[in-house]
Structure 1
Amino acid sequence: MPMMVRVYIRSVLIGAALACCFVAALLALDVGHLRHLILNSPSGWLALCMLVFFNAIVFAGVQFAIVVMMQAETPPSTGRRAWILRPRMVAVPQRSVARAGRK
């Protein structure tokens, strides 16, 4: 499996976990009387599922963006790419050229 697919799947799982924690905190603190609305509505389970799903999309997107942006700052440390991209310091021999005015 390619590396970016693994990173994306991991980001989705982390986003889903964060969304569940966030929705649980919203319901525990009864922000905007959401707990009352969800528990007393006949279709409250649908509202709960939508709340978790859409928050998971947002948190997964943010998580994936953070991981991708952090990869751009760190150059590869091993392998052929690191060897090619590493600047080499090479001593260049200089020939001494006598000036026309000096003898």
Structure 2
Amino acid sequence: MPRLVRFYIRHVLIGFGLSAAFVAMLLYFNVANLWHLVTHSPDGLLAVGLLVMFNGIVFSGAQFGIAVMRLAEDERPPRGGVRQFDAIPVPVEDRRC
């Protein structure tokens, strides 16, 4: 399997893991009385599955985006030193009426 595909799959799985942890925390802390709604509804399991799926899509996209942007970081210090320029005042005539 190509390295890029493994890279993508790894970070998507990380995103879905974060999503599952996020939904578990939502249920554990009973945000907006979500635990009661899920446990007392016949479609509660479907709601949890949809929460994990849709949050997984968002979290995995964000995780993959961050991972790709981190690839471009350059760890080497800048070369050539710091350039400093001296400001030279330029006279300007005021031609307003």
| TM-score class normalised by the smaller sequence | 0.7 to 0.9
2-structure distance, mates of 1:59, 1:74? 25
Report the equivalent of 1:93. Answer: none
Report the equivalent of 1:44. Answer: 44
Report the equivalent of 2:17. Answer: 17
Following TM superposition, the consecutive aligned residue runs of length 4 or more in structure 1 with deviations greater than 6 angstroms are none
Deviation (angstroms), 1:74: 3.5
Cα-to-partner distance string for 1:55-74 (whole Å, 9 max, x where unaligned):
11111111100110011223
Within a 5 Å distance, the mapping from 1:11-90 to structure 2 comes to: 11-74=11-74
Q: Which has the larger radius of gyration?
A: 1
Q: Give the match's secondary structure for 1:41.
A: coil
Q: Give the match's secondary structure for 2:72.
A: helix
Deviation (angstroms), 1:22: 0.5
Q: Which TM-score applies when normalising by structure 2?
A: 0.73
Greater helix fraction, Structure 1 or Structure 2:
1
Structure 2's unaligned 5+ residue stretches are: 76-97
RMSD over aligned CA atoms reads: 1.2
Q: Which TM-score applies when normalising by structure 1?
A: 0.69
Q: Give the match's secondary structure for 1:62.
A: helix
What percentage of residue pairs aligned between the two structures are identical? Answer: 55
